[in-house]
Structure 1
Amino acid sequence: MIGAIWNGVAGIWQQEKGINVESNNLSNSSTVGHKKDQISFSDVLYTQAGFGKGVQTHTISKTFTQGQIVGTGVGIDVAMEGKGFFIVKNRQDDSIYYTRAGNLVQAKDGFLVTQDDYKIQGLVPQSKLTTSTNPADMMFTDEYTKSMISSNINNSNGTIYNINAKTTDYIKSSKDDDFLRKGDGYKTSQSKINDIEALQNDYIEKLNKFLMDQNGANIPSVSQKSQIDFSSNLSSLQATDNILSITIDNKTYSVKFDVNSSINEEEMQKLYDSLDANGKAKYNLVDPNSIKSQADIDNMPINTPQEILDKAEAQALRDNQINNYINSNSMINAMKDLSDKISSKEGMSASVKDGTLVIDTLFAGSSFKLSDIKLNDTNFNSTNLQDAVKGSGLAMIDSARDALKNAVERADAKFLQITNVLEYGNLGVIGENDINVRLDALGISDKSTAEVSISNDGFVFVKSEGHSFLVGRLSTAGFRNEQGLEPMGGNLYQKSKYSGEPFNADTMNKIIGGSLERANVDYGTTLTQLMVYQKAFEASSKSITTSDEFLQTAIEMKR
C-alpha cells in the first residue's frame, strides 16, 4: 500500500511535467521559429514476477519538424523551409549560436541582427571590382545622378556578380565637338547623348543574353571596321555637282560638292592638319610651311643657265605641291561631310583621318552592311579592316561596358561601375561573417539609409535610388543529431557533444524572403495531450487516495 502511494506520487509528478511541457508549447505557439518540446516516459525498476515502482521521465526533446511559413511583406524577414539553422554570433564574446527565427532587424551600426542583437552570419562579397573614369572615384556620390544598370549575373559555378553602374549628368556636360574634329568621328551634343542611350540598351541586352546562355567561352567582342578608298578617282571629278553616296544598313548617306580650282595657305594648313601621316602620304601633301612662296621664286636670279633651271624647277615643284592640295581638297572635304553625317547616326562613327573613309560601329561585336558606294557614276567596293566578333561570356559583357564608358566620356561625363563578386559554391565552408547593410560603411555609396531585402535564395540586397547592391548571403548550418543541440532560450541553440559539429546545410533547405516560420505547435494535438495528462494526473491522485484508504483500514483492523 505504501508502494502504491509512492507510485501515485510519481505519476502526479511526471504527469505534471507533461502538462508543463504542453503548456510551454501552447505559450510559444506565436513565437517565431519555435520548435515544440516532446516528453516521453518510462517505467521504474521491474523485477522478475514483480511489479513496477512507478513512472519516470525518459526524455524531453525538441521536435524539429517544419513550421508553417507565412508571408509578412517585410523585406528583412526571412524563413527557412527544410533542414538547418541560421547562424548568429554573440557580440560580447563572439560565441556562435543557431536559430530558426528569421525576424531580423538592422542595428544602429548597420549589421543585420536578431531581436536580441545577435549578429546574423553568412558570406560577404570576396571582391569589389571598380571601373571608373576617375580612378579616385570608388563609391557612388551625389555627383552620379544617372542610372545606367543594376543587374545580377548568377553563374552555374556558384558565383554571383552584382553589377551597378551610374554616370554623372551627361546631358548637361555634353557639347558639340570642336570644329577642327570634323571628319574624324565628329559628334554633336545630341548625337553623344543618343550614343549613350543606345549603348546603355545594348549593354542591358548583352547582360540578358549572357543570363540565358552562360556556357560560352570568354571571348571579347570586336566591332566591324570598314574602309573605302576614293583617291583613285580624283581625275574624273566634275567641276560641279559631284555626288558621293553610300548605303549603310539600308540607310543612304550622300553629299553633293563642287571642285575648287584654287586654294589658299590657310585652307592648305587646315587640310594638312586634319590628316595623319598616312593620309598626307596618300595625297602627297607636304607641310604648307615648307612650300616655297611665289614671291621667293619670283625673286630668284636668272643670270645664268643654272639659275634659270633652278627657278624653273622651284616653280614646277611649287605648282605640283599646290596642285596636290587643289586636287585632294574638294574630295577630302566631301568625305569629311559624309563622315560627319554617318557619325551623327547613334552608335556609328566615321573618319577620313588616313585619307580614306573608315567606318566603324560603337556597338561592341556588331557589324553593318555597306552597299551602293558611289562617286558620281563610279561604283566602289569596301574593304574590311576588322571583322566583327560577337564575343561571349563575361568578356562580351566587359566589351559592352567599355563601349558605354567610352561614349559617356565622349560626352565629358564620368562613368562608375561597381561589381560585387560573391562566391558561394563551396559547400565545405560555413559562412561566418558579419553582414553589414550600410552602404557608406561598405564603401559603395555615401548614402547611409536604404531599404534592405533578402531574396528567396538568401542573398541580402540593399536598395538605394533604383539600384540593388549585393552585401551578403545568409549561411545555414545542419547537425547530424538536431535533438542533441542544447537549447539556450531566446530561440537559440548551441552545439553539444551529442549534436555533432555543424556542416553547411545550404542544399538541405530553401530560404524564403519576406516571410517567417511559425511555431510547429499543433493546437489539436497539444490540447488533446493536455487532457490526457490531466486525466492521468487525476487517476494517479485517485491511486493515492485509494491506497490511503486501504492503509487506514489496515491500521484500524490492528486496533
Structure 2
Amino acid sequence: MIRGFYNGVSGIKTQSFGMDVWSNNISNINNVGFKASTPEFKSIFYQSMVSAGNNPTTDQVGLGAVKQATALDMSNGTYQNTDNKFDFAIQGDGFFGVKDRYGATYYTRNGAFDIDAAGNLVDVTGKFVQGTMNALTPITPSQNALSIYGNKNGAVEAYSVAENANLALTDPNAQQNIKLPNFLYQPAKATTKLDIVGNLNSTRINETTEITLDENSYTYTLDNTAKTLNISGVVTDSPNVQKFRANDNITIKISDDSGKFSEFRTQVDENGAFSLNDARLAYLDLDTAKISASLTTNQEIPNTQKMSSEIFTATGEKNLLTLNYTKKVPQGSDTTTWDVVATITDKDGNEVASNTGTLVFGDNATLQSTTITEVGGVALNFTDQSTTNGVYRGLTSGAFASSTQLTKDGYDEGVLKSYEVVDEGTIMAVFNNGNAFSVAKVALYHFQNDQGLAKMSENVYAKTSNSGEPIFYKDQSGATILGAKISSNRLEMSNVDLGTALTEIIVIQKAYDASSKSITTSDEMIQTAIQMKK
C-alpha cells in the first residue's frame, strides 16, 4: 500500500509535466514558425516479488512513472500570405540560420525578416539572417547616379555588385550576415559581343527587271548617209542575266551629245538572239551617238533584311549597330549566300565603324561559314554551336518568316531600383537600367536529428550533440541545394492542432485526478489496517 502513495505522487508529477507542455503549445498557437512538443513518459523501475522459476510469467510491481522527453513535432504548419517580400516560409525540411551580436548561430522556422537601418536582413529580435553573399565592392558613383539617388554632395556609402544571376550556396560554415545596401551603383560597361539568333527569309522573289546588257554581247553599224542603225546580238545566262525567255523584250537606246535620243524594241528568240535592222535615226547626230541595250525579263531579285541593336561604349554612350543583309542571286540549290554590311553609328548618325562580309548557309538552313566576325571591337556571333537538347541555336536562312533575336552584353550605368525575391530564397537587385543581379541567397540548414535541437527563447533552436552539426544537401553532381522550397511573401504559422491539444489536456486532467485518487485510496486502506488493532 505504501507503494500506492509513491506511485500516485509520481503520476501527479508526470501529469503536471504533461499539462505544462500542452499548455505551452496552446499559448504558442499563433507564434510564427512554432513547433509543438509532445510530452513523453517512462516507467521508473519494477520490483520483482518472486523469481520466475518455471512460471510462464514474472511477478513484478511497478514503482511509478517519470517524465522522459518533450519530442518536437516537426511537421509543417499552415501558411499565411503577407505583404512583406522579406517574409519567408519553408515548405519542407530545414531551418533558417540567424546570428546574434555575440556571434552565436541559432536556427528557426520563423521567417519574418526585414531590413534594419544599416541594411542588414534581420529577424524580429534583430538577429542577422545568414546566407551566401555576392561580392559587394565600395564604389564612387557618378554625379548623375547621385542625383538619381537624391544625394548630390557625394557623402554616401555606395557599392557595386558582381554580375551574377545564379548565386549558389557555399559551405555551412562560410555563411555570413546578409547585407542589402541602400545604394547600389553599376558603372557603364562597354558592349563587346552581340549574339544574333533568327532567320533570314530566303524565299525566292521574282520580279520583272530591266538588265543592261554587256557591250560585248552585241554589235551594231550606223549609216550616216541613210541615218539608220543595224544591231544584232546574243543574250546568254550570266550573273546579271539569270535566265532569259523567248520573246523577252530588248530595248535599244541611242542618244547624242545634244540630249536627243530614240528607243527601239525587239525580242529575243529561244536561243537568245536578237536583231534590229534599218532603224531610222533622222534627228540624231550619229557622230556623237551612244548606244545601249537592255533586256526586260522576269528573274529572281535579292532579298534584303535589316537588324539593329543599341550598344554601349565604355563611357556609357549609346550607339546603334546595324546589320544589312543582301542575298546573292541566283540562289544555289545547296547553299544560300548573303552579303552583310555591319555599321556602327553614334547618336547623331555619324558612322563610327563598319565592316563587310558574307554568310553561307547550307541546305539545312544553318550557317556553314562567315567572313565577318566583328565590327568596331564588337564580336558578331552568328552561331552558337552549343545546343540545347540537340537544337541548333544561331542565325538561319530558310524559306520561312524573318525573325530577329539580338542579345548583347554591356549596359548603361544603373542605380538600385528595388530588391526583389525570386524562387529558392535568392534576393535580386533590380537596377533602373533594366539589369538584375543576385545579391544574396538565404541559407537553409538541415540536421541529422531535428529532435535533438534545443529550444531556446524567441522561437529559435540551438544545435546540440544530439542534433549534430548543421549540413547542406547536395545533388548527384555535388552542387549545393536547399532541399526544400522557400517562398517569399508568406509565413509558416504554428503547427499546434488545437483539437488535439485540448483532447490531450482532458486526458491529462483525468490521469491527474486518478493519480490523486490512488493516494487517498491508499490512505484509506492504511487507516483500515491500523483500525484492525483496536
Cα distance in 1, alignment partners of residues 20 and 420 from structure 2: 39
Q: Is the 8 A contact 1:144 1:167 kept in 2?
A: no
Matched, 1:368 2:291: no
What one-letter code is carried by the residue in structure 2 that aligns with 1:483? Q
What is residue 527 of structure 2 aligned with on the other side? 552
Cα distance in 2, alignment partners of residues 467 and 520 from structure 1: 40
1:412-491 equivalence runs, <5 A = 415-416=412-413, 445=415, 452-462=419-429, 470-491=438-459
What is residue 131 of structure 2 aligned with on the other side? 122
What is residue 73 of structure 2 aligned with on the other side? 63
Q: Cα–Cα, structure 1 residues 367 and 12, in superposed 2: closer, same or farther, change >3 Å? A: farther
What is residue 501 of structure 1 aligned with on the other side? 469
Q: Is the 8 A contact 2:166 2:438 kept in 1?
A: no
Shift of the alpha carbon at 1:451?
5.0
Q: Is the 8 A contact 2:15 2:508 kept in 1?
A: yes
Q: Cα–Cα, structure 1 residues 401 and 4, in superposed 2: closer, same or farther, change >3 Å? A: same
Shift of the alpha carbon at 1:489?
1.4
What is residue 86 of structure 2 aligned with on the other side? 76
Shift of the alpha carbon at 1:126?
3.3
Q: Cα–Cα, structure 1 residues 523 and 507, in superposed 2: closer, same or farther, change >3 Å? A: same
Cα distance in 2, alignment partners of residues 492 and 5 from structure 1: 40
TM-score under structure 1 length normalisation = 0.49
TM-score under structure 2 length normalisation = 0.51
Shift of the alpha carbon at 1:470?
3.1
Q: Is the 8 A contact 1:103 1:115 kept in 2?
A: yes
Identity %: 31
What is residue 27 of structure 2 aligned with on the other side? 27
Q: Cα–Cα, structure 1 residues 497 and 398, in superposed 2: closer, same or farther, change >3 Å? A: farther
What is residue 177 of structure 1 aligned with on the other side? none
Q: Is the 8 A contact 2:164 2:437 kept in 1?
A: no
Matched, 1:384 2:393: no
What is residue 409 of structure 2 aligned with on the other side? 401
Cα distance in 1, alignment partners of residues 185 and 409 from structure 2: 11
Cα distance in 1, alignment partners of residues 165 and 61 from structure 2: 67
Shift of the alpha carbon at 1:156?
11
SS of residue in 1 equivalent to 2:445: strand
Of structures 1 and 2, the one scoring higher in RCO (CA 8 A, sep 6+) is 1
Q: Is the 8 A contact 1:76 1:452 kept in 2?
A: no
1:250-289 equivalence runs, <5 A = none
Structure 2: where are the runs of 5+ without partners?
Answer: 49-58, 151-160, 171-183, 199-213, 215-303, 312-318, 330-338, 341-355, 359-370, 374-380, 387-393, 395-404, 474-480
Q: Is the 8 A contact 1:125 1:471 kept in 2?
A: yes
Matched, 1:53 2:63: yes
What one-letter code is carried by the residue in structure 1 that aligns with 2:452? G
SS of residue in 1 equivalent to 2:62: coil
Q: Is the 8 A contact 1:76 1:513 kept in 2?
A: yes
Per-residue CA deviations over 1:323-368 (Å, capped at 9, x if unaligned) read xxxxxxxxxxxxxxxxxxx9x996699xxxxxxxxxx9815xx561
SS of residue in 2 equivalent to 1:47: strand
Greater C-alpha Rg: 2
Q: Cα–Cα, structure 1 residues 468 and 153, in superposed 2: closer, same or farther, change >3 Å? A: closer
Cα distance in 2, alignment partners of residues 348 and 20 from structure 1: 69
Per-residue CA deviations over 1:401-437 (Å, capped at 9, x if unaligned) read 34xx6xxxxxxxxx326xxxxxxxxxxxxxxxxxxxx
Shift of the alpha carbon at 1:124?
0.7
Q: Cα–Cα, structure 1 residues 526 and 96, in superposed 2: closer, same or farther, change >3 Å? A: same
Q: In structure 1, which of residues 538, 541, 546 is the aligned counterpart of residue 516 of structure 2?
A: 541
SS of residue in 2 equivalent to 1:60: strand
* Bigger shift: residues 58-67 or 465-474: 465-474
Cα distance in 2, alignment partners of residues 109 and 144 from structure 1: 17
What is residue 497 of structure 2 aligned with on the other side? 522
Q: Is the 8 A contact 1:77 1:454 kept in 2?
A: no
SS of residue in 1 equivalent to 2:3: helix
Q: Cα–Cα, structure 1 residues 27 and 124, in superposed 2: closer, same or farther, change >3 Å? A: same
Shift of the alpha carbon at 1:166?
8.6
State the Cα RMSD in Å. 4.6
What one-letter code is carried by the residue in structure 2 that aligns with 1:472? A
Cα distance in 1, alignment partners of residues 81 and 310 from structure 2: 50
Cα distance in 2, alignment partners of residues 536 and 387 from structure 1: 89
Q: Cα–Cα, structure 1 residues 128 and 36, in superposed 2: closer, same or farther, change >3 Å? A: same
Shift of the alpha carbon at 1:387?
2.9
Q: Cα–Cα, structure 1 residues 391 and 94, in superposed 2: closer, same or farther, change >3 Å? A: farther
Cα distance in 2, alignment partners of residues 34 and 348 from structure 1: 53
Shift of the alpha carbon at 1:24?
0.5
Bigger proportion of residues as helix? 1
1:103-122 equivalence runs, <5 A = 103-122=112-131
Shift of the alpha carbon at 1:370?
5.6
| Number of equivalent positions | 319
1:312-331 equivalence runs, <5 A = none
What one-letter code is carried by the residue in structure 2 that aligns with 1:454? V
Q: Cα–Cα, structure 1 residues 143 and 523, in superposed 2: closer, same or farther, change >3 Å? A: closer
Structure 1: where are the runs of 5+ without partners?
Answer: 169-198, 211-232, 234-341, 350-359, 373-380, 406-414, 418-444
Q: Cα–Cα, structure 1 residues 143 and 493, in superposed 2: closer, same or farther, change >3 Å? A: closer
Shift of the alpha carbon at 1:71?
1.6
What is residue 336 of structure 1 aligned with on the other side? none
SS of residue in 2 equivalent to 1:387: coil
